[in-house]
Amino acid sequence: MIDFQLSSDQVYSTRFREAGINSFQDACHFIAQLPYGRNANREDFSLVFSEGKGTCSSKHALLAELALENAHPEVELIAGIFLMSGETHAKLTGFFEGKSYASLPECHCYLRIKGERFDFSDTSNTLELIAPKLVREQRIDPNQVSDWKIMIHKDYLQRWLNRNPAIGMTLDEVWKEREEAIVLLSQ
């Protein structure tokens, strides 16, 4: 893991310094400690501060933007699609019972630095469990976590449904069930 001082005068660097956080590693640890939860506006990363929570998308987009503000483009924001199951998230074991599928493609954001993955969604390091189940990774820009990430995810889900016609569901139906799984994970 790299570290650097937050020396930029841009918005996020200033915000972290105002909170007494002066290095990138300290910013990462601070973000990981915040509860998981959706923000009121997916496109406004500053809400991670004011609402005191964030998702994998908002937390990692904020950290990637922070790295860019401080001239560290080697900190990449990644949208990774993995096969979510009871194996990757024990809370979901019951969710998959009786379904026509045993896993569900889910999109997760994290950072990649010099080929190594880092997850600051929370302190559990879920990435260790999902990394073996990754089926696609794509570098995205921080501003792409709102619309582009969803497009990538829905496109993959539709292709997955096309390859697995026995599932017998539409994209909208699968997306709704996925939302139910996310709610379970948030509890």
The model's pLDDT over 25-81, given as tens digits with 9 standing for 90+, comes to 999 999 999 998 889 998 898 899 999 999 999 999 999 999 999 999 999 999 999
Residue-level pLDDT at 187 = 77
Residue 123: pLDDT above 90? no
User: What is the side-by-side strand order in the sheet with 104-113?
Assistant: 116-118, 104-113, 75-84, 134-140
Task: Count Cα neighbours of 3 within 13 Å in the Cβ-side half-sphere.
Answer: 8
3-state helix, strand, coil in the chain (%, to 5): 45, 20, 35
Report the SS3 class of residue 109.
strand
CA distances from 111 to 103, 140, 144, 171, 173 (A): 24, 10, 14, 28, 30
Instruction: Return d(Cα 60, Cα 47) in angstroms, integer.
Output: 13
- Answer yes or no: are the C-beta atoms of 48 and 17 closer than 8 Å: no
CA distances from 149 to 19, 20, 61, 65, 139 (A): 29, 31, 11, 16, 10
Angle between helices 24-33 and 56-69 (to 10 degrees): 170
| pLDDT, averaged across the chain | 94
* Token pair listed for 90: 């024990």
Instruction: Return d(Cα 17, Cα 175) in angstroms, integer.
Output: 39
Higher pLDDT, 39 or 187: 39
Residue 126's pLDDT band (boundaries 50, 70, 90)?
confident
